[in-house]
Amino acid sequence: MGRKGVFALVVGTRPSFIMAAPIIAAFDDAGAALKVLHSAQHYSENMDDVFFRDLGIRQPDHRLTAQPDQKSPARQIAHIMIGVEDWLRAETPQALMVLGDTNSNLGAALATRKLNVPLAHVEAGERSGDLAQAEEQNRRLIDHMADVNFATNARSCANLKAEGIPDARILITGNPIVDAVLKNRDKAAALDLSDRPYSDNLKGKFGVMTLHRQENVDDPDRLPVILRDIQAGAAAAGAPVIFFAHPRTLARINEQELMPGLESDPNIMILPGAGYHEFVAVLQRASFCVTDSGGVQQEACIVGVPAVTIMDETPWPDTISNGANELCRPAVDPITPAIGRAMQKSYATSPWSQPFGDGDTGARILQVLVERFGTR
């Protein structure tokens, strides 16, 4: 396939919009041609459009049609593969970037590799070691297909090398999530939250919470126990949690008729997912964070808020070893006392290191791609 002097980037889920923003800005500022494809995996206003507004991302050049069946990974990935293949044949970019570990990225990476268009993976080399996680399956496959792996740090680089990925395919760049936080944290801090339903909670100690991993929320045995233990932890700590709930989680909560128990408890306030500025604003002011999100675990570490992570394994062990985060394995580690321990931590008096980069990752990725593949 003849290739024009244009790069391509696939977005499509909430975390990808945040990682993409600094990369798109770096290309646009340098006048380097970049086409953006939206996989349409996420499509609701608060999972999609709000991030384009908050992060000042230009509209995608192309959006795939809605996915036929999000409950079937094969159908979801196949739909994206076909859409990306058609788009690649029409656009003939000189390289395509995927960001992170979602099904959109696996579908796009497979289509790109099959056409032997050079493939770059941002946030490469993260490993939880748990192949039962959809994200671990995706990131392992993508890293082995990619021509260029943009690893966050020495740990992610070592993970890639341990799997036999050649040095020439690995570059340490940091994670663009840091660029996004540093660029937006003041805007977020300036946001007026006085009209929000949780505005009174902001006056005292409070926690912020997200939960959406399929192994946590789709398991009818796990979800009620996780929620009950977080509610108990918030009560014991005297710090209510503001829970920004993913649409998947809201659906499961309603199906399991758990909403009345949440709505009647002053220790938890459940709301739909927030925009990026609102989320970072609340996170920055929180005394602790409870999450199973990869991005939120990293952001809590970056902004200095102690985290409790509800996962079987985390791909970000450096947040554990530096004291920023505590892993609570569902049905193994008690969540309630972990919230108490998080409340006792103070970044102001005992700061931890920040292992995810210096905030210049977008520019570094641009530089590497231009050096490797040239421009128009």
Which residues in this chain contact ligand UDP in the complex, by CB under 6 A?
Answer: 14-15, 18, 210, 212, 244, 273-274, 276, 279-280, 293-296, 299
Q: Which is nearer to ligand UDP, 172 or 296 (CB)?
A: 296
Q: Which is nearer to ligand UDP, 21 or 110 (CB)?
A: 21
For residue 372 the two structure tokens come to 């490797």
Minimum distance of ligand UD1 from residue 254's CB (angstroms): 11
Minimum distance of ligand UD1 from residue 293's CB (angstroms): 6
Minimum distance of ligand UDP from residue 181's CB (angstroms): 8
Check if 212 is active-site.
yes
Place of tokens 């790109």: 112
Q: Which is nearer to ligand UDP, 117 or 209 (CB)?
A: 209
Minimum distance of ligand UDP from residue 291's CB (angstroms): 7
Q: Which is nearer to ligand UD1, 33 or 47 (CB)?
A: 47
Return the bridge partners of 271, or none.
244
Instruction: Report what 103 binds from ligand UD1, ligand UDP, none; CB cut-off 5-8 Å by kind.
Output: ligand UD1
Query: Which is catalytic among the residues 79, 121, 212, 277?
Result: 212
Instruction: Report what 247 binds from ligand UDP, ligand UD1, none; CB cut-off 5-8 Å by kind.
Output: ligand UD1
Minimum distance of ligand UDP from residue 161's CB (angstroms): 24
Instruction: Report what 279 binds from ligand UD1, ligand UDP, none; CB cut-off 5-8 Å by kind.
Output: ligand UDP
Q: Which is nearer to ligand UDP, 210 or 325 (CB)?
A: 210
Q: Which is nearer to ligand UD1, 39 or 284 (CB)?
A: 39
Minimum distance of ligand UD1 from residue 63's CB (angstroms): 13
SS3 per residue for the chain: CCCCCCEEEEECCHHHHHHHHHHHHHHHHHCCCEEEEECCCCCCHHHCHHHHHHCCCCCCCEECCCCCCCCCHHHHHHHHHHHHHHHHHHHCCCEEEEECCCHHHHHHHHHHHHCCCCEEEEEECCCCCCCCCHHHHHHHHHHHHCCEEEECCHHHHHHHHHCCCCHHHEEECCCHHHHHHHHHHHHHHCCCCCCCCCHHHHHCCCEEECCCCHHHHCCCCHHHHHHHHHHHHHHHHCCCEEEEECHHHHHHHHHCCCHHHHHCCCCEEEEECCCHHHHHHHHHHCCEEEECCHHHHHHHHHHCCCEEEECCCCCCCHHHHCCCEEEECCCCCCHHHHHHHHHHCCCCCCCCCCCCCCCCHHHHHHHHHHHHHCCC
CA 285 to chain centre: 20
Minimum distance of ligand UD1 from residue 167's CB (angstroms): 28
For residue 133 the two structure tokens come to 């996680």
Instruction: Report what 229 binds from ligand UDP, ligand UD1, none; CB cut-off 5-8 Å by kind.
Output: none
Instruction: Report what 125 binds from ligand UD1, ligand UDP, none; CB cut-off 5-8 Å by kind.
Output: none
Instruction: Report what 41 binds from ligand UDP, ligand UD1, none; CB cut-off 5-8 Å by kind.
Output: ligand UD1
Provide CB contacts within 8 A for 188, sequence distance 6+. Answer: 276, 277, 278, 279, 280, 281, 284
Instruction: Report what 185 binds from ligand UD1, ligand UDP, none; CB cut-off 5-8 Å by kind.
Output: none
Residues that bind ligand UD1 (CB under 6 A): 13-15, 41-44, 47-48, 70, 101-103, 134-135, 212, 214, 246-248, 251
What is the amino acid identity at position 4? K
Q: Which is nearer to ligand UDP, 35 or 139 (CB)?
A: 139
* Distance from C-alpha of 324 to C-alpha of 289, rounded to nearest angstrom: 10
For residue 236 the two structure tokens come to 């014991």
Active-site positions?
Answer: 212
